[in-house]
Amino acid sequence: MPKNYLSEDNNFDAVYQIERTDPVEGGPGGVSNEPHQNLTNRTKWLQVRVDALLTAIGLKAPLDSPAFTGSPTAPTPTATDNSTKLATTAFVKGKVDELWTTMKGDVEGLGIALGLKAPLNSPAFTGTPTAPTPPMTENSTRLATTEFAWEAVQLTMNKLFPMLGNGTDSFTLPNGLTLKWGTISPTATDSHGFVTITFPSSFSTKIYHVIPRSTPITSSDVPVLCELINVANGASFKIMVVKSDGTVYANKQISVNWFAIGY
C-alpha cells in the first residue's frame, strides 16, 4: 500500500493537543494528524526564513577587508575630520576645493614665474642679462661679459701701443673695416679733466670703439686712468682723465695714445 505524506504550508501554526475524547482519525484533516500537520507547517516556515537569511548573508560584505561592488555609499565626514573613517567623494572634493582655494594664488604665481625663466638648454635671454665677470686668466666655456671683453681688448692694446710707436697711422681691411691709431703729446686737460682728441681723418660711416690711454707728462705725477666719454660724428672723441684715487686730473699736461675701429 503506498505511503501518503502531509502537505507543507508556510505557516507558524500552534500545535494542536489531542484530547482524550478525540477519536482516532487519520488521513488529510484527521484529528490524529493535526499536531503533525502543525509541526510540518512550522518546519516549512522556518526553512523558508533560514533560506532567506542564507541568501541575505551571501550578499553581505565581511567586516575584514570587504570588497564592495556597485556604488557603495557612506556618510560624509565633517570637513575637519582626521580619522580612520571612510572618506566619500564629497569629502575628498571638499578638501581638494579647500586646498585649491588656499594655493590657487601660489600656483598661478609659480606658473607666471616659470614662464619668466629661461630653459637650461639654449636659453634665449632678453633685456639686459648679466653675469659675474670671469678673471682675465679664465679660458673655459664660462660666459664672458662685456667687461671681460673690453678688459681683454685693453690688455691687448697695452701690448700693442708700444708696437705702434708715435705719430698717427691707419689701416683698412679688404672688407672696409678701418683701424686708426695715434699718439698726441703733449696735450692738456681742462679744469674738469676732459680732453677732446680730433682724428687726423674722420670715419665716414661709423665708429665701433675707441680705446684711449693717457700718461702724465710729469713723471713725478701719480698714474692716471683714462675714461672714454663720447665719440662725436666720427671726427673726434672726448676722454676724462682721473687719478687712481678717483679725483680728476685737471689742467695737466698728458700724453694720449689711442686706437679706433670703424668704417
- Tens of pLDDT, residues 170-197: 888 888 889 888 888 888 889 998 988 8
Q: How far is CA 239 from CA 93, 106, 185, 220, 233, in A?
A: 71, 52, 15, 22, 15
Domain boundary among 65, 91, 107: 65
> Does the residue 158 lie in any domain?
yes
In the chain, the number of structural domains is 2
CATH of the domain at 228: 2.60.40.3940
- Tens of pLDDT, residues 6-38: 677 777 778 888 888 888 888 888 888 888 888
Is it the case that residue 93 has pLDDT exceeding 60? yes
- pLDDT value of residue 110: 82
139: exposed, middle or buried (C-beta count within 10 Å: 0-12, 13-18, 19+)?
exposed
Same domain assignment for residues 247 and 153: yes
Host domain of residue 51: 1-65
- pLDDT value of residue 3: 60
> Does the residue 251 lie in any domain?
yes
- pLDDT value of residue 6: 67
- Tens of pLDDT, residues 143-160: 999 888 777 766 776 666
- pLDDT value of residue 39: 86
The answer to whether 235 and 198 are in contact (CB under 8 A) is yes
The answer to whether 179 and 171 are in contact (CB under 8 A) is yes
> Does the residue 70 lie in any domain?
no
Domain boundary among 65, 96, 113: 65
Domain boundary among 50, 65, 80: 65
> Does the residue 107 lie in any domain?
no
Q: Model confidence at 82, in pLDDT bands (50, 70, 90)?
A: very high
Strand order in the sheet with 194-198: 194-198, 236-243, 224-232
Same domain assignment for residues 54 and 152: no
For the chain, percent helix, then strand, then coil, each to nearest 5? Answer: 30, 20, 50
